[in-house]
């Protein structure tokens, strides 16, 4: 049975649903079937894994450590762009934001080329999502009143879990015992749903966000590699210290309702490397579980 938009958000949260989108029954969560497969991946890759996925058509969900905190890394950029879209009309997105050379931080492949001219809000959203440009991410946070302003936006969606504290690059320190700049797989899928498929944005602005996610350049080896080749994926990746590697996505099988998916991971050592195959293979487990 297909869920309504309101029902889909309830499935994603599994909690009381925010006033923006209404309330409906919880998802049919099936964590136990997939849990052994996720646990095997953790052992194989020596990593901690967090997964939350919901088929918005059936309400079926897959969850593994869905409420454990993980450093969100650059996945926040998709949600920050959604919040900026909510605050601005399409015409307002053409406003040019200026910044200085001193404001540039590491990994700023797009903003680094436009210091003299500045960039429109629309272009900053594009750069932050499609190229994970860190200065663009910082400028989007600035538009929202800083990290705490961004957190307030998410709180307004009903997310009392995600905590935003710092700008790039400090937010990527990702120490395991540090609650700053963390979220959970469940909270991230819920917020991504709200901005991409829920009632937070109108159709025009929602289409913009989905377009940026769909043309992301950084996610080819992650969730996109774990779904059938003919499925469409719009995603936002992230990585940080302690082997942090994340991907959040709207996955669209042909002729079926979208799937919201978050796959987050971390390792014990600060300088540990991440392996994109962990995210791809966890995604394969999700797809198999949802199809079962």
Residues with catalytic function: 74, 168
Q: Is the dihedral of CA 146, 86, 111, 266 positive or negative?
A: positive
Q: Are 251 and 223 in contact (CB under 8 A)?
A: yes
CA-angle at 277, arms to 111 and 216, nearest 5°: 30
SS3 7: helix
CA-angle at 288, arms to 287 and 289, nearest 5°: 90
Which of these, 118, 122, 115, lies nearest to 84 by C-alpha position?
Answer: 122
> Alpha-carbon distance 60 to 159, whole Å?
21
If you count them, how many residues does the chain have? Answer: 292
Cα 41 to the center of its chain, rounded Å = 21
Q: What is the 3-state secondary structure (H, E, C) of 222-282?
A: CHHHHCCCCCEEEEEEEEECCCEEEEEEEEECCCCCCEEEEEEEECCCCCCCCCHHHHHHH
Pairing mode, strands 28-29 and 60-64 = parallel
């Amino acid at each position: 049975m297909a869920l309504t938009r309101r029902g889909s958000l309830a499935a994603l949260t599994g909690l009381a649903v925010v006033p923006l989108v209404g309330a409906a029954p919880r998802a049919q969560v099936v964590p136990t079937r997939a849990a052994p497969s996720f646990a095997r991946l953790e052992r194989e890759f020596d990593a901690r894994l967090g997964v939350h996925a919901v088929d918005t058509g059936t309400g079926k969900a897959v969850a593994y450590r869905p409420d454990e905190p993980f450093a969100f890394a650059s996945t926040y950029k998709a949600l920050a762009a959604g919040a900026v879209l909510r605050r601005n009309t399409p015409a307002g997105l053409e406003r040019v934001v200026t910044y200085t050379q001193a404001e540039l931080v590491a990994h700023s492949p797009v903003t680094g080329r436009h210091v003299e001219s500045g960039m429109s809000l629309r272009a900053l959203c594009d750069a932050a999502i499609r190229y994970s440009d860190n200065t663009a991410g910082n400028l989007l946070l600035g538009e929202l009143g800083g990290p705490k302003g961004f957190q307030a936006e998410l709180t307004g969606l009903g997310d009392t879990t995600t905590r935003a504290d710092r700008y790039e690059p400090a937010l990527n320190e990702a120490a395991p015992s540090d609650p700053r700049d963390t979220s959970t797989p469940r909270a991230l899928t819920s917020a991504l749903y709200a901005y991409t498929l829920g009632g937070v944005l109108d159709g025009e602005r929602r289409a913009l966000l989905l377009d940026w996610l769909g043309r992301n350049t950084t996610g080819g080896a992650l969730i996109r590699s774990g779904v059938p080749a003919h499925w469409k994926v719009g995603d936002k990746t992230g990585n940080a210290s302690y082997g942090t590697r994340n991907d959040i996505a709207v996955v669209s099988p042909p002729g079926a309702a979208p799937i919201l998916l978050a796959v987050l991971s971390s390792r014990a050592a600060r300088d540990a490397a991440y392996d994109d195959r962990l995210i791809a293979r966890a995604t394969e487990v999700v797809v198999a579980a949802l199809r079962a």
